[in-house]
């Protein structure tokens, strides 16, 4: 069982957990979920789940120690004789708490860094040593990590940080904290949940209700359709174009087609998996945060990242962007810049520095390689440029009496954003930064649409039938997205229909998966993409 799309998960594991959860008394239900989560983590990572156990234990102990220091501080301040003494006491205990929190964060980020990034950094050092003829060659260790380590590590960091900031109480129930850290639907590919939103609902032991059960199954089926029918089908074309330098044999039009199809593949695989995740949790009455909100309706790169992988973006916003911009040096910088640059551009230097930190971390979070760092810097540059140009463009629009709400501008903005995203994903998919630049050079210097007119595109992993199937499903996803954008729930509309209609829709979705799914001879099913990050 290596993914949520596997038959082992969909036909054996999930139904068994649902059945056992349903028959158990209320108090035992959370322990069923915890046992299932531990079993799932073992099945996908075997004994490497020890990393997950270490993470959970470290933040559990650290949070209790912080709680104890807060209580001691409160007691000491009650007997203090004056305000100055209270201030000194608070400062002393705050330093102790900060030390404890820092140790817990360093431990967990350190484990993640060693397991995920040490080969990359050691290789880089060796390359630098060789460049300067330094006779040192560092050995490259081979580490294995628990699948999902990037996701649960960020959850652990957010928990201990929120305890320190008094946003949540330190949990004295280790089993509840462990369930929050390891809940099986989210452990492999997220979304990245917050303790305040998820931990207590997970521990309530809610009864399985008909609405949650049916809504969950609908969401799971929708996710399977996106992954199996579209993502696995486009994967053959993407693999044909980009594997083992095959892209050198094609012109820029085919490279662009591959970049667009890879973007579609990535979105349909990741969002489809998230649909399965959210649907699985919904069966148990657990609401998992949405991770996508029609990202390809975005009119700027900044807006795109507010709609794509939302929980990762909000994590970086709350735990990197805000702390950097609200730090004393950045506040001082903003104050000075306001005097020299004015109200519009004064806050930008501090924001751009914070954006740099966010996008460096974002790139590294996705993978240990220069192509991932470039991916982060690419989006950092686009977002920073957008922020710098915005005041000028606002004045220009005002002077020319143009409206950003006009339909022509919206179409232009959405198309521009989609093109920029696809180019970024081309570098993201490259096997190294040099390969990414070679692809981009071909895209620009040898651009041609010849293959689109002579039928050449039907010989690169996908035939006419495949394109038709992909187009039909994309139209369905587009319609669902438009309705969501307008605040209308497709599932609520379906739920309002008679049972026979609802059942027919569900059977139709299953039939589409079975008949048109890209599996069997000739297809290359994708492994979970984001589980590798």
Chain segment 322-341, per-residue pLDDT in tens: 999 999 999 898 888 888 88
Residue 533: its pLDDT value, please? Answer: 59
Domain end, chosen from 190, 207, 224, is at: 207
String of DSSP letters for 132-157: TT-------------TTHHHHHHHHH
Residue 473 lies in a domain: yes
Residue 489: its pLDDT value, please? Answer: 85
Residue 283 lies in a domain: yes
Phi, psi of 406, deg, nearest 5: -70, 150
Domain end, chosen from 207, 233, 252, is at: 207
Mean pLDDT check: name the lowest of 49-63, 158-172, 332-346, 380-394: 332-346
pLDDT category, 397, cuts 50, 70, 90? Answer: confident
Together in a domain, 85 and 144 = yes
For residue 292, what are the β-bridge partners? 308
Together in a domain, 35 and 152 = yes
**Conformational region of residue 155, where left means phi above 0, alpha means psi within -120 to 50, and beta covers everything else:** alpha
Together in a domain, 217 and 186 = no
* pLDDT beyond 90 at 28: yes
CA distance 163 to 101: 9
Together in a domain, 196 and 279 = no
Residue 521: its pLDDT value, please? Answer: 62
CA distance 446 to 503: 51
CA distance 4 to 187: 11
CA distance 283 to 449: 47
Together in a domain, 19 and 73 = yes
Closest by Cα among 239, 244, 175, 333 to 527: 239
Residue 407 lies in a domain: no
| Mean pLDDT value of segment 181-186 | 94
Residue 405 lies in a domain: no
Residue 308: its pLDDT value, please? Answer: 96
- The token duo for 415 is 């198309």
Neighbours of 228 (CB within 10 A): 24
pLDDT category, 129, cuts 50, 70, 90? Answer: confident
Residue 523: its pLDDT value, please? Answer: 65
Domain end, chosen from 192, 207, 222, is at: 207
Kindly report, residue by residue over 95-105, the tens digit of the pLDDT.
999 999 999 99
Phi, psi of 449, deg, nearest 5: -105, 15
Residue 531: its pLDDT value, please? Answer: 60
Mean pLDDT check: name the lowest of 43-52, 243-252, 514-523: 514-523
Q: Are 60 and 174 in contact (CB under 8 A)?
A: yes
Together in a domain, 51 and 141 = yes
3-state secondary structure of 340: helix
Residue 393 lies in a domain: no
Together in a domain, 100 and 189 = yes
- Which residue in the block uniquely carries the two structure tokens 């108090």? 27
Name the DSSP letter for residue 292: B
Together in a domain, 179 and 248 = no
Q: How many CA atoms lie within 13 A of 205 on its CB side?
A: 14
Q: pTM of the predicted model, to two decimals?
A: 0.92
pLDDT category, 379, cuts 50, 70, 90? Answer: very high
* pLDDT beyond 70 at 68: yes
Together in a domain, 178 and 54 = yes
Residue ranges with strand state E in 17-124: none
Residue 105: its pLDDT value, please? Answer: 96
Rounded to 5 degrees, what angle do the CA atoms 105, 109, 113 make?
Answer: 165
Kindly report, residue by residue over 242-301, the tens digit of the pLDDT.
887 788 888 999 999 999 999 999 999 999 999 999 999 999 999 999 999 999 999 999
CA distance 206 to 178: 18
Residue 330 lies in a domain: no
CA distance 24 to 18: 10
> Percent of the chain having pLDDT more than 70?
97
Residue 45: its pLDDT value, please? Answer: 86
Kindly report, residue by residue over 449-508, the tens digit of the pLDDT.
998 999 889 988 898 999 999 999 999 999 999 999 998 888 888 888 888 888 888 888
CA distance 428 to 263: 10
Provide the H-helix boundaries in 173-327.
Answer: 174-182, 195-203, 210-224, 232-242, 252-283, 301-307, 310-316, 322-325
Angle formed by the axes of helices 252-283 and 433-445, nearest 10°:
130
Mean pLDDT check: name the lowest of 20-34, 61-75, 325-339, 463-477: 325-339
Residue 532: its pLDDT value, please? Answer: 60
| Mean pLDDT value of segment 62-85 | 88
| Mean pLDDT value of segment 5-23 | 94
- The token duo for 311 is 């929980």
Together in a domain, 286 and 267 = yes
Residue 240 lies in a domain: yes
CA distance 533 to 527: 12
Residue 376: its pLDDT value, please? Answer: 95
The count of domains in the chain is 2
Together in a domain, 197 and 237 = no
Domain that holds residue 115: 7-207
Residue 402: its pLDDT value, please? Answer: 80
Residue 440 lies in a domain: no
Residue 522: its pLDDT value, please? Answer: 62
pLDDT category, 50, cuts 50, 70, 90? Answer: very high
Mean pLDDT of the chain: 90
Mean pLDDT check: name the lowest of 79-83, 357-361, 410-414: 79-83
| Between residues 531 and 487, the one the model is more confident about | 487
56 to each of 149, 178, 377, 379, 428, how far by Cα in Å? Answer: 12, 6, 32, 33, 31
Residue 274: its pLDDT value, please? Answer: 95
pLDDT category, 183, cuts 50, 70, 90? Answer: very high
Together in a domain, 520 and 510 = yes
CA distance 331 to 132: 41
139 to each of 22, 122, 126, 233, how far by Cα in Å? Answer: 52, 8, 9, 40
Instruction: Report the run of H or E that residue 248 belongs to, with start and end.
Output: none
């Amino acid at each position: 069982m290596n993914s949520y799309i596997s038959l082992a998960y969909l036909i054996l594991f999930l139904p068994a957990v649902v059945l056992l959860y349903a028959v158990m008394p209320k108090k035992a239900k959370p322990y069923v979920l915890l046992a299932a989560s531990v079993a799932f983590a073992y099945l996908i990572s075997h004994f490497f789940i020890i990393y997950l156990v270490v993470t959970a234990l470290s933040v559990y102990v650290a949070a209790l120690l912080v709680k104890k220091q807060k209580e001691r501080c409160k007691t000491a301040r009650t007997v203090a004789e004056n305000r100055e003494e209270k201030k000194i006491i608070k400062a002393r205990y705050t330093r102790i708490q900060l030390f404890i929190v820092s140790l817990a964060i360093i431990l967990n980020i350190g484990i993640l860094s060693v397991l995920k990034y040490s080969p990359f950094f050691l290789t880089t050092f060796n390359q630098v040593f060789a460049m300067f003829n330094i006779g040192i060659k560092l050995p490259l260790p081979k580490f294995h990590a628990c699948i999902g380590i990037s996701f649960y590590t960020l959850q652990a960091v957010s928990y201990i940080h929120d305890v320190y900031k008094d946003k949540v109480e330190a949990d004295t129930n280790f089993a509840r904290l462990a369930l929050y850290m390891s809940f099986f639907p989210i452990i492999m590919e997220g979304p990245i949940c917050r303790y305040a939103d998820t931990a207590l609902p997970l521990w309530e032991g809610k009864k399985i209700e008909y609405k949650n059960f049916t809504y969950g199954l609908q969401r799971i089926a929708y996710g399977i359709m996106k992954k199996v029918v579209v993502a696995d089908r486009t994967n053959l074309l993407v693999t044909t174009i980009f594997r083992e330098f095959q892209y050198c044999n094609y012109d820029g039009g085919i490279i662009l087609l591959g970049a667009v199809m890879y973007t579609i593949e990535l979105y349909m695989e990741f969002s489809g998996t998230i649909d399965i995740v959210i649907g699985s949790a919904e069966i148990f009455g657990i609401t998992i945060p949405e991770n996508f909100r029609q990202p390809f309706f975005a009119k700027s790169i900044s807006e795109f990242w507010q709609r794509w992988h939302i929980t990762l973006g909000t994590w970086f916003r709350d735990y990197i962007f805000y702390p950097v911009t609200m730090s004393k040096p950045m506040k001082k910088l903003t104050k000075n810049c306001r005097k020299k640059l004015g109200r519009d551009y004064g806050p930008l230097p501090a924001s751009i520095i914070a954006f740099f930190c966010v996008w460096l971390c974002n790139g590294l979070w996705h993978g240990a390689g220069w192509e991932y760092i470039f991916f982060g810097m690419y989006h950092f540059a686009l977002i920073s440029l957008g922020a710098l140009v915005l005041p000028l463009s606002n004045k220009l629009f005002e002077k020319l009496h143009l409206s950003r709400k006009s339909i022509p501008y919206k179409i232009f903005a959405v198309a521009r954003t989609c093109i920029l995203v696809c180019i970024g994903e081309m570098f993201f998919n490259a096997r190294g930064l040099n390969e990414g630049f070679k692809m981009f050079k071909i895209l620009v210097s040898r651009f041609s649409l010849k293959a689109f007119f002579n039928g050449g595109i039907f010989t690169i992993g996908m035939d006419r039938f495949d394109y038709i199937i992909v187009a039909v499903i994309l139209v369905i996803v587009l319609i669902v997205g438009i309705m969501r954008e307008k605040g209308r729930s497709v599932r609520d509309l379906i739920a309002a229909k008679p049972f026979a209609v609802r059942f027919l829709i569900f059977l139709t979705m299953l039939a589409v998966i079975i008949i048109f799914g890209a599996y069997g001879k000739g297809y290359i099913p994708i492994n979970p993409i984001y589980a590798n990050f």
